[in-house]
Amino acid sequence: MPTNQALLIIDYTNDFVANQGALTCGHPGQILAPVICDLAEQMRANGDWVLLPTDVHTPHDPYHPESKLFPPHNVRGTWGRELYGSLKDWYTAHQTETTVWQFDKTRYSSFAGTDLDLRLRERHVNTLHLVGVCTDICVLHTAVDAYNLGYSLVIHENAVASFDSDGHAWALRHFKNSLGATIV
């Protein structure tokens, strides 16, 4: 029986993590793979929801604000958008389970333009565990929206990373001091 908590594995893709990724956080992101997979497996085995909100783009989209900020990344159907490393294998093994699903997002927050809030409320989820990349961009914006929607937050410090070490440290403080998140 599923529980009232969910793990969100945010944007853990080749473009954000692999050495050849278009917008990679590199080694700090790569070392998260075993921690993220272990946590996903623990939560799945416990009957918790394991969700993979995954950034998706069209290259050079003149209407998307990120086109002015970042090079093309996470383009649908490319290697860069595939889940990184052992998470790809974990997801392949569990993707048909009802408590595990991946979904597209086109903005920093996993809530913006998606039905995530509706799906979580239908399942009586009130606590979100956040992991993935980047701590100070997509994880942060997801956390702010979750906070504003009334969810309790748990941030797994050893399972988030960024290409900006100062931004990463700032975001961890912000989660705790401004969003009341539990940092584990």
**Residues 6 or more apart from 85 whose CB is under 8 A from it?**
17, 18, 30, 33
Distances, alpha carbon 64 to alpha carbons 26, 37, 115, in Å: 25, 31, 20
Amino acid at 8: L
Position 2 in a domain: no
3-class state of residue 47 by DSSP: coil
Mean pLDDT of successive 10-residue stretches along the chain, which has 184 residues = 86 97 96 98 96 92 82 90 98 97 97 98 97 97 98 98 96 98 98
Per the structure, the complete domain to which residue 15 belongs is given by 7-183
CA distance 96 to 121: 21
Evaluate whether residue 1 is within a structural domain. Answer: no
Task: Give domain status of residue 80, yes or no.
Answer: yes
Q: What is the pTM of this model?
A: 0.95
The answer to whether residue 111 sits within a structural domain is yes
Q: What CATH number does residue 27 fall under?
A: 3.40.50.850
Q: Which pLDDT score, from 0 to 100, does residue 2 have?
A: 57
**Structural domains of the chain, count:** 1
* pLDDT, position 126: 97
CB contact at 8 A, 136 and 167: yes
Contact 129, 39 (CB under 8 A): yes
